[in-house]
Amino acid sequence: MNILLDKEYSKKVALLAYPIVLGMISRTIMSLVDAAMVGRLGAVELAAVGLGGHISMLTVYSFGVFNIGIQALISRRFGEGNKDMCGYIVNNIFVFITIIGLSGSILGYFFGPGILYLLADDPAVYSVGKSYVAIRFIEFLSFTVIGIYRGFFDGIGNTKVYMRAMIVMNGLNIVLNYMLIFGNFGFPRLEVPGAAIGSMLSSYAGAFVMIFHSLDKKTRIEYGLYKKLSNDLSIIKKLYTLNFPEMTRVFLSYGGFLIFLKILGMIS
């Protein structure tokens, strides 16, 4: 079997892919930095952040994968040369997804600590981690907004926007963690809640970066963004159909790992 390598095509794929790869690496570094900094506080604090972080990710990431369905819808219209339809899709799902994000943030803030209570066998871990979980759930809205614009920009081939947003998130998270966890530069020493606040604020900074790019005059006019916000149920239905399998996969993946952590907690 002869395998032909189209250098020009491969170059295009690499140019589209590398910003996404860097963005994903940035998120991994963000988690490692959180663990490294909080780990200096003690074993209980590290356990609380580890367990609490996975609880928030279970729901935030399950609903934060809207970008996959949005990208599928956008890229098809972009390939057809129908740029107005790309903007029409975003305009019709923006309100719907934002409502989901806001609802998730509010519900998670009040009920998220209850999930930690069910999973944490050590009372000390729950005591330290309940505020962490509540604050991290506030990220729900920011990640749904990021999902909207990541799907749009990746769909039209501008994958660098997501990379920039993730780099901003990662850099700001390091700075905020350093200030808020340990009380540096005149800020109060908040320890574990400081880590949650740093991550939460960083996620909204990432969402702001993506919104800022969408407000660029050329992009806004070319694709008809924000012309008229509405809810076309046919588009929302397509989005749900495309996203449900990935949402289920993410939920089962993080849910399975949380069960594993629960079993570990029962041992020690």
Residue 20's pLDDT band (cuts 50, 70, 90): low
Contact indicator for 88, 229 with CB cutoff of 8 Å:
no
Asked whether the predicted pLDDT for residue 62 surpasses 60, the reply is yes
At 200-238, the pLDDT tens digits run 999 999 999 999 999 999 999 999 898 887 778 888 888
Contact indicator for 225, 212 with CB cutoff of 8 Å:
no
Residue 9's pLDDT band (cuts 50, 70, 90): low
For residue 195, what pLDDT is reported? 92
Highest mean pLDDT among 35-39, 66-70, 185-189: 185-189
Residue 74's pLDDT band (cuts 50, 70, 90): very high
- Chain centroid to CA 247: 13
Q: Which of 182-191's residues contact partners 24+ apart within 8 Å by CB, and which partners?
A: 182/37, 191/38, 191/41, 191/45
Main-chain dihedrals φ then ψ at residue 137, nearest 5 degrees: -70, -20
CA distance 91 to 99: 14
Contact indicator for 199, 136 with CB cutoff of 8 Å:
yes
Is 0.85 surpassed by the pTM of this model? yes
In the DSSP assignment, the letter for residue 187 is -
For residue 23, what pLDDT is reported? 65
For residue 50, what pLDDT is reported? 84
Asked whether the predicted pLDDT for residue 24 surpasses 70, the reply is no
How would you label 192-205 residue by residue, b for 16+ Cβ within 10 Å and e otherwise?
bbbbbbbbbbbbbb
Residue 251's pLDDT band (cuts 50, 70, 90): confident
- Residue 44: partners with Cβ closer than 8 Å, 6 or more residues away: 122, 124, 125, 128
At 108-160, the pLDDT tens digits run 999 999 989 888 888 898 999 999 999 999 999 998 999 899 999 999 999 88
At 151-205, the pLDDT tens digits run 999 999 998 899 899 889 989 999 999 999 999 999 999 999 999 999 999 999 9
**H/E run at residue 186:** none
Q: 46: how many CB neighbours lie within 10 A of its CB?
A: 20
Asked whether the predicted pLDDT for residue 31 surpasses 70, the reply is no
